[in-house]
Structure 1
Amino acid sequence: MKTSLLAVLSSAVLFAGAPASAQNSEFVKSAQVDLDGDGKPEAVSLTPGKDGKFTLKVGGATLNGDASGNEVPGFQVVDLDTGDKWKELLVQTLGEMDDGHRYFVYGYDGKAVKLLGDVHALTEAKGNGIVLVDRWMGFWQKRDKYTLDRKAWKLVHVPQELYAVTYAPGEEVTATVKKSFPLTQSRTGSAVVATTAQGTKVKVLAASVPAKGEVLYLVRSSTGLVGWVPGNVLVESTDGLPLAG
């Protein structure tokens, strides 16, 4: 189960419910496709360079990209919003480690190639202008939401105060306490709401992921009390977390 999940998160691009043309296409170096909806296909080509640099050409427009040393195997044509006339280009880049993989999303307005954004993966894109992106966080999937802002020609990240902690869709994360640890009432305070008992089960409900610093986890104890614990304490004090990667 862990192997297949990591493979999906690190290298596969899924389009659940997407048009068949997007679902079945492969990453290529060249194609003829109508990206701006004028009824005339553009010649699209990608030429990898040194150190992760690449050149993307659409019709008469050229854009120079930089994948920061990653390999650039090719691009895929996708349709993030079937309600508008445009289609998008997804350029795949592969790092040495799974966490280094990136996907650059480009649009073409008929005159210029524009970077809409870059993400770790496109886990789900149903053609409604919403993109869901999963990233492996050691023992759970962090799911982010992006929306396509066509006026700004950007993929806009939709922030979440907390992230649901699941190993896979519908699979909760539980662990056994091997060393007792406290659960605090808040993320910033030190007041203790409960102390977990050795040998009992705990369930990891949610995560607070700051831009910098320690990830904090909202945990439910065997007695049903809920509180916060730093990520390093949770990992070091429990057995059974589905650690991988």
Structure 2
Amino acid sequence: MKTQAPVLAVLTFTLLSAPVARAGDEGPVQAASVDLNGDGKPEAISVQFDEAKDQWVLKVGTATARGAAEGNASNGFTVVDLDASDKRKELAVHTGQTDADQQAHLYAFDGKSLKPLGAVPNITEAKGNGIILSDTWQGFWNRRDKFALDAKAGKVTEVPQELYAVGVEARVKTSFALARSRTDKAAVATLAQGSTIQVLAAAKAMREGGYLYLVKSSTGLLGWATEKDLLVKTEGLPLAG
């Protein structure tokens, strides 16, 4: 299913306790009152747009942080709990309007200043265990990335994956070959017209850019296909704009 930037539901609201960010939660807001540093006193939080400098401005009390808006005001912010073992909550400033440009800029507040933790494409799930799962739509599948919080370093970093799970089916309308590996284009199988294939996983292409796809044929053979072959020579992929 395609991921989209959540729609701004309200402009101002007050939270007694910060929610955990996950799919289906209320969307970003422009202002709120939340206890971020665990001292029992809520901080006034807001995101504004500085048109003159083309920047969004995050304010927590007297502390501020700025980021390039690139022509678009921020969609607002959400409160997340990246580490449930402490009393603190973090902020995510959401920018971008499409899957290609959306970002969640993460900040921690120590009671005096805002510290940038890094950015992720979006926040699909954060359960307080130091892990963020982030889904990004890739045309006919969701790429799920994992990010981990390094509490000592005070930053969030991506956990690299060799392969991304895809898990979709398609029907071959024009026969084409599957390559033995990502570096060896010799055919391991030739897909029969009308047969059903399973697209199991994706890997970033080393030279061409984009992705190569691990495909299982109807005869149980595994090989690699290009994105072009899948889009042009198959039908039934769950394509969305």
Same-fold status (TM-score > 0.5): yes
Matches within 5 A, 1:9-158: 9-12=3-6, 21-22=19-20, 26-50=27-51, 52-95=54-97, 97-158=98-159
**Alpha-carbon distance in structure 2 between the residues aligned to 1:44 and 1:93:** 17
The amino acid across from 1:105 in the alignment is L
In structure 1, the gaps of 5 or more residues are 14-18, 167-172
The amino acid across from 2:189 in the alignment is A
Q: In the TM superposition, what whole-angstrom CA distance separates every residue of 1:144-182 from its partner, at most 9, and x where no partner exists?
A: 10111111121110000001103xxxxxx1111111111
Q: In the TM superposition, what whole-angstrom CA distance separates every residue of 1:23-77 from its partner, at most 9, and x where no partner exists?
A: 6655333333222223333232222122751111222322121132223132122
Offset, 1:242: 0.9
The amino acid across from 1:72 in the alignment is S
The amino acid across from 1:21 in the alignment is P
**Alpha-carbon distance in structure 2 between the residues aligned to 1:184 and 1:21:** 47
**Alpha-carbon distance in structure 1 between the residues aligned to 2:197 and 2:27:** 42
Instruction: Give the length in aligned residue pairs.
Output: 227
| Aligned partner (choices 208, 211, 216) of residue 220 of structure 1 | 216
**Alpha-carbon distance in structure 2 between the residues aligned to 1:25 and 1:220:** 39
TM-score using structure 2 length: 0.85
Offset, 1:129: 1.2
Contact kept? 1:46, 1:56, Cα under 8 Å: yes
**Alpha-carbon distance in structure 2 between the residues aligned to 1:142 and 1:72:** 24
Q: In the TM superposition, what whole-angstrom CA distance separates every residue of 1:101-157 from its partner, at most 9, and x where no partner exists?
A: 222111112332122122222111112111100110110111010111111121110
The amino acid across from 1:218 in the alignment is L
**Alpha-carbon distance in structure 2 between the residues aligned to 1:155 and 1:163:** 20
Do structure 1's residue 195 and structure 2's residue 196 form an aligned pair?
no
Q: In the TM superposition, what whole-angstrom CA distance separates every residue of 1:193-236 from its partner, at most 9, and x where no partner exists?
A: 11111111111011002487131000011111100111111211
TM-score using structure 1 length: 0.84
More helix by share: 1
The answer for the alignment partner of 2:231 in structure 1 is 235
State the percentage of identical aligned residues. Answer: 52
